[in-house]
């Protein structure tokens, strides 16, 4: 198949899923055309069958907000025609599915059939889409999509309840490449971050308020009362400054290492003994899955689709949002009880490999594309 993929090319779960999906599909022989405003972060464009088409958004003094959605729709239409695309797959509803809808209509004028699949990732539904200024257009874009997938049952339920009760929405969970994300029993390189033999916990996110990164710092401060531990903070975003400030205030500045955006998180995650994901909301929790594939058990909050990934007490721990004491106690348990850690690390890897490896989930996308293509005939 020839597939156009659009996503946010920056750091963030939806862009990562879209990029990894494109790479996996190309490995399986499909021609993949990324249509975005810049090169997606994890995308190596010299891979066979991977193509990249930049969307240029021309500015003009009249435009206070250059109309990216329109430039994208135009580019989608042109790329579809030039490369004979079979369908578009857009990640994150706003504004990508509306651009795809326009591209479908413009292509029809040129006698080209161009169906599109929208994958809902989370905040496009639970936060942004709920805002009154985007609600109507989000609902419309879901209704008009030729196919809709959701990355968890929880997100599907929420979408049906709030946006589109009649829509057939397929759940295709997040996936991970289990060959790239794998345990490193030696934790080679950990000493660089833990020169005094500290145990490491890690947090990865885009540092948005929904991730509650300040809770990570509070948990570390609490954890250090019983455990010689350090926290690796990977990523960047609006709450990084406040988190750095809080680390100073709580007296743990030297034990919270802010590493910024990292291109090879698969090298960092296996160095940790646990991952911390204290989010306010998480439709799935891709970072936790990546860690589990590395045999790093998660200490997370019981929200959204997270329980579809983590079984509390077996392959990770789930606690209430904002319960710093409970999160710190769980992390302490994992870091101080080697037998428990070994059992949970193995269970976490097993969950990733048996249920969420790319080779299990990618064929579901392929089958869904075929179904969408057949449906319109």
Residues near ligand GMT (CB under 6 A)? 12-15, 17, 92, 121-123, 151, 174, 206, 208, 210, 281-286
Beta-sheet pairing, 274-277 with 298-301: parallel
Q: Which two tokens stand for residue 321?
A: 């949002």
State the nearest-atom distance from the C-beta of 7 to ligand GMT, in Å.
8
Shortest separation between residue 106's beta carbon and ligand GMT, angstroms: 27
Of 114 and 120, which has the nearer Cβ to ligand GMT? 120
Q: Work out how close the CB of 356 gets to ligand GMT at its nearest, in angstroms, rounded to a whole number.
A: 11
Q: In angstroms, give the least distance from the CB of 69 to ligand GMT.
A: 17
Minimum gap (Å) between residue 180 Cβ and ligand GMT: 17
Residue with tokens 């257009």: 137
Whichever of 18 and 328 has its CB closer to ligand GMT, that residue is 18
Beta bridge partner(s), residue 258: 233
Strand order in the sheet with 199-204: 256-260, 229-234, 199-204, 274-277, 298-301, 317-319
> Which CB sits closer to ligand GMT, 107 or 150?
150
Of 92 and 193, CB closest to ligand GMT: 92
Greatest Cα pair distance, the chain, in angstroms, is 68
Q: Are 246 and 216 in contact (CB under 8 A)?
A: no
Q: Could you tell me the CA-to-CA distances from 155 to 19, 61, 87, 279, 375 in Å, in that order?
A: 21, 40, 24, 15, 24
* 361, 24 contact by CB (below 8 A): no
Task: Please say which residue, 12 or 77, places its beta carbon nearer to ligand GMT.
Answer: 12
């Amino acid at each position: 198949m020839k597939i156009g993929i659009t996503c946010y090319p920056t750091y963030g779960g939806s862009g990562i899923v879209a990029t990894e999906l494109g790479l996996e599909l190309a490995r399986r022989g499909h021609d993949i055309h990324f249509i975005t405003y810049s090169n997606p972060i994890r995308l190596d464009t010299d891979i066979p069958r991977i193509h990249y088409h930049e969307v240029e958004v021309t500015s003009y003094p009249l435009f206070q907000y250059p109309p990216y959605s329109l430039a994208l729709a135009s580019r989608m239409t042109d790329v579809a025609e030039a490369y004979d695309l079979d369908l578009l797959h857009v990640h994150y509803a706003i504004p990508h599915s509306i651009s795809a809808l326009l591209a479908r209509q413009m292509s029809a004028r040129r006698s080209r059939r161009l169906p599109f699949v929208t994958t809902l990732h989370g905040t496009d539904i639970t936060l942004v889409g709920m805002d009154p200024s985007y609600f109507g257009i989000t609902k419309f874009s879901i209704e008009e999509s030729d196919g809709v997938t959701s990355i968890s049952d929880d997100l599907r339920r929420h979408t049906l309840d709030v946006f589109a009760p009649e829509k057939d929405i397929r759940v295709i969970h997040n996936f991970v490449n289990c060959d790239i994300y794998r345990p490193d029993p030696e934790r080679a390189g950990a000493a660089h971050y833990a020169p005094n033999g500290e145990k490491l916990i890690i947090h990865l996110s885009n540092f948005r308020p929904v991730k509650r990164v300040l809770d990570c710092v509070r948990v570390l401060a609490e954890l250090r009362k019983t455990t010689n531990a350090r926290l690796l903070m990977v990523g960047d975003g609006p709450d990084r400054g406040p988190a750095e400030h809080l680390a100073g205030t709580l007296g743990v500045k030297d034990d919270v290492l802010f590493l910024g955006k990292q291109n090879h998180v698969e090298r960092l995650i296996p160095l940790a003994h646990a991952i911390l994901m204290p989010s306010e909301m998480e439709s799935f929790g891709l970072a936790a899955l990546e860690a589990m594939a590395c045999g790093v058990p998660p200490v997370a909050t019981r929200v959204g689709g997270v329980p579809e990934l983590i079984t509390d007490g077996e392959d990770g721990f789930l606690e209430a949002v904002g319960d710093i004491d409970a999160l710190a106690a769980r992390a302490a348990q994992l870091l101080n009880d080697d037998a428990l850690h070994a059992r949970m690390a193995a269970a976490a890897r097993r969950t990733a490999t048996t249920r969420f490896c790319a080779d299990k989930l990618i064929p579901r996308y392929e089958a869904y594309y075929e179904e969408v293509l057949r449906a319109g005939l």
